[in-house]
Structure 1
Amino acid sequence: MAAEKGSNKRIILKDYVTGYPREGDMVLISSDIELKVPPGSAAVLVKILYLSCDPYMRGRMSKPVVKSYIGPFTPGYVITGYGVGRVVDSGHPNFKAGDLVWGITGWEEYSLIEAPDSLIKIKYTDVPLSYYTGILGMPGLTAYVGFHEISSPKKGETVFVSAASGAVGQLVGQFAKLMGCYVVGSAGSQEKVDLLKKKFGFDDAFSYKEEPDLNAALKRCFPDGIDIYFDNVGGPMLDAVLLNMQNHGRIAVCGMISQYNLTEKDGIHNLFCLITKRIRMQGFLEPDHKHLYPQFLDLIIQYLKEGKLVYVEDIAEGIENAASALIGLFSGRNVGKQVVLVARE
């Protein structure tokens, strides 16, 4: 008996990208897919419910110049990223049809995952499943590790977060407030500034686009200096922060979205401050800390139940709008965590 077939819409990278990506750099195609895993295979077939748009994906769209922690996409093939879905069929002993999972999937309606050991079964289903692309997934663990493990925070310290209304930044600010820190965030619009102060409880916030002098803006917000900087943007903001760090301050380098689309990167001129102020500046990657996920998950679920954390998502509907949603990250079009709703349960 022939296996049932379904239609599968997929997002393909047309070619390597230089500069700012455009929707046309990705192509939506449709093909048939068998809704069963191949006989004897240990693969898992997943029906995708949500896809996650994340800044790191931009680097995977370019021809590699230096070796990175994750390989580039292959032109002509489906792009991949974090997704949430339900198992349709499984040849793997750890998964069965009906299981809800999250992890790296194809950007497509149905994804055949041949090495499913990296998939994580969804434990808590009394929260929105989309949260596993954000607060309960990679961005959430990134925020948790970057703040609690890398930044070594103490109660009463001053904390600055750039790209503070994004998937990671909104959580870092709330973690810092829960620790009793003074928290300021920067974002790209007045709407996002209001969100930081009124929704996420930041003590202050500013739009970097409305500040002709970032150094002056930081001095206004932190007259006594910054203890912890959670860096999501790099570039001129990092340069200005270095001038305003406290002695023995810590900088957790999570991302540098201001630089991803530039062919000539911005130079950093104030690195001497690392010496004079004895600053510790450390980059980190979420995959190195996966062992912390179970304790992180239980903590965040408890925080959500107690109303101690809130999370804002920007949901684009339909895989047809996935490319546009991803591109929007690089102009700050999204408000909150950018998610693509592929299919409703």
Structure 2
Amino acid sequence: MQNRRFLLKRRPKGDPVPEDFDLVTEDVPSPPAGGFVMRNHYISLDPAQRGWMDDAPSYMPPIPLGDPVRATSVGVVHASDNPDYEVGQWVMGLNGIEEFSSVVPEHFTAKIDPTMVDSPARFLSAMGAVSLTAYFAMMEVAKPKEGEVLCVSGAAGAVGSVVGQIGKIHGCKVIGIAGGPDKCKRLIDDYGFDFAIDYRGKDRHALAKEIAKAAPDGLDIVFENVGGEVMEAEVMNLAHYARVVLCGLISEYNSVEKHGLQGLWRILTQRATIHGFLIMDYADRFPEGGAQIAEWMAEGRMRIDEDIYEGIENAYETFMRLFSGDKDGKLVLKVA
């Protein structure tokens, strides 16, 4: 057996291009001391991976050149030097885009039970970091109350769609901002949003006017995944004492020069707060969040979609769907 690995060859400047990566074939590794070899079945593709490719200070160290692109994966123990991880056991952890990973168990390594779900890929979507990001950011930071107005950018994405549904469960009026009529239709038909706004072809002023029509008394909660002019339009519509949860800035990840935020004075005049959110702060509470999401799904109150593509040879093209928006649900690469 061989191990195909998707390596970071050089640091992207702006949009990643195929020449920034290498797909190499190597021997399957032996288990490290006290660890195991994991055969990856499903690999999560997330916007955060773009930030990890830069040689810049962040909440996680940059991906070293020559290493596989860092990614959360779900798979099976292939060989083991650790009695706690037996061959055949299903596990998940922060590994890489590769068919086999050498794993020394750490904070993000966990055993999983695939019989709990209809597909192991659910541990990267419904039971994974994206849904748990939505859950803990909403429940611990935004703290939605019945009757409040919630606006979500990147609303048709893996995080945004769950955020909006949590808002509805808690009695909020939910406005979603997404790209294109098809995604806006999904927000209403599939996820139960009250309003869907297409940002394409609109500057911040036109977008702000549409938000104002949907929320004439202002936005109580803004869940930000996009940044740029979308965030500026939202900030122009803040209600008094609004809470802005800053989860992502995907519109700027490939920008050489960052956009920044115009209209920051609105934070001052509306006495609003901006809270930066990272899911890693809640890693020890993942079972709690996963159990609640599973309950909501069982009750038919929440829908979580995945968009799965096959083959590690398609890693680059699939990864770039994050930035083109050409996906429906949580983006996953199947490699086994």
> Structure 2 length as normaliser, TM-score?
0.95
Maintained 8 Å contact 1:44/1:116: no
What percentage of aligned pairs have identical amino acids?
37
CA–CA separation in structure 2 for the residues paired with 1:156 and 1:92: 52
Match of 1:200 in 2: 191
Maintained 8 Å contact 1:135/1:167: no
1:51 aligned to 2:46?
no
Deviation for aligned residue 1:123: 3.6
5+ residue gaps in structure 1? 1-5
Deviation for aligned residue 1:322: 1.4
One-letter identity of the residue aligned with 1:118: F
Task: Find the residue that maps to 2:248 and give its secondary structure.
Answer: coil
One-letter identity of the residue aligned with 2:219: I
CA–CA separation in structure 1 for the residues paired with 2:277 and 2:253: 17
CA–CA separation in structure 2 for the residues paired with 1:108 and 1:116: 19
Match of 2:282 in 1: 289
Match of 1:311 in 2: 304
Maintained 8 Å contact 2:3/2:28: yes
Q: Which string of whole-angstrom CA distances, capped at 9 and with x for unpartnered residues, describes residues 56-102 of structure 1?
A: 000111222xx210111122222221111111122223321111111
CA–CA separation in structure 1 for the residues paired with 2:230 and 2:310: 33
Match of 1:279 in 2: 272
One-letter identity of the residue aligned with 1:24: E
Task: Find the residue that maps to 1:255 and give its secondary structure.
Answer: coil
Q: Which string of whole-angstrom CA distances, capped at 9 and with x for unpartnered residues, describes residues 109-154 of structure 1?
A: 1111124452111145231211111221111111011111111211
One-letter identity of the residue aligned with 1:129: P
CA–CA separation in structure 1 for the residues paired with 2:70 and 2:259: 29
Match of 1:11 in 2: 6
One-letter identity of the residue aligned with 1:102: M
1:37 aligned to 2:27?
no
Task: Find the residue that maps to 1:168 and give its secondary structure.
Answer: helix
Match of 1:215 in 2: 208
Q: Which string of whole-angstrom CA distances, capped at 9 and with x for unpartnered residues, describes residues 186-242 of structure 1?
A: 111111111111001111101100434111111121111110000001111111111
1:298 aligned to 2:295?
no
2:55 pairs with one of 53, 59, 63: 63
CA–CA separation in structure 2 for the residues paired with 1:158 and 1:271: 20
Match of 1:147 in 2: 138
Task: Find the residue that maps to 1:258 and give its secondary structure.
Answer: helix
One-letter identity of the residue aligned with 1:284: F
Range 168-177 or range 320-329, more displaced: 320-329
Closer/same/farther in 2, CA of residues 267 and 106 from structure 1, 3 Å limit: closer
Deviation for aligned residue 1:291: 2.2
Match of 2:248 in 1: 255
Task: Find the residue that maps to 2:146 and give its secondary structure.
Answer: coil
Match of 1:129 in 2: 120
Deviation for aligned residue 1:164: 0.5
Match of 2:154 in 1: 163
CA–CA separation in structure 2 for the residues paired with 1:198 and 1:211: 23
Maintained 8 Å contact 1:315/1:339: yes
One-letter identity of the residue aligned with 1:31: E
5+ residue gaps in structure 2? none
Match of 2:317 in 1: 324
Task: Find the residue that maps to 2:314 and give its secondary structure.
Answer: helix
CA–CA separation in structure 1 for the residues paired with 2:191 and 2:302: 8
CA–CA separation in structure 2 for the residues paired with 1:45 and 1:267: 42
Match of 1:109 in 2: 99
1:21 pairs with one of 12, 16, 19: 16
2:67 pairs with one of 73, 77, 85: 77
Maintained 8 Å contact 1:16/1:61: yes
CA–CA separation in structure 2 for the residues paired with 1:255 and 1:117: 23
Closer/same/farther in 2, CA of residues 188 and 161 from structure 1, 3 Å limit: same
Task: Find the residue that maps to 2:252 and give its secondary structure.
Answer: coil
Cα RMSD of the aligned pairs, angstroms, is: 1.4
Which portions of structure 1, spanning 4 or more consecutive aligned residues, are displaced by more than 2 angstroms?
Answer: 114-118, 123-126
Match of 2:327 in 1: 334
Maintained 8 Å contact 1:158/1:227: yes
Maintained 8 Å contact 1:211/1:217: no
Task: Find the residue that maps to 1:219 and give its secondary structure.
Answer: helix
CA–CA separation in structure 1 for the residues paired with 2:18 and 2:186: 28
Match of 1:97 in 2: 87
CA–CA separation in structure 2 for the residues paired with 1:96 and 1:43: 10
CA–CA separation in structure 2 for the residues paired with 1:170 and 1:336: 8
Task: Find the residue that maps to 1:12 and give its secondary structure.
Answer: strand
CA–CA separation in structure 2 for the residues paired with 1:121 and 1:114: 13
Maintained 8 Å contact 2:157/2:330: yes
CA–CA separation in structure 2 for the residues paired with 1:105 and 1:91: 18
1:242 aligned to 2:235?
yes
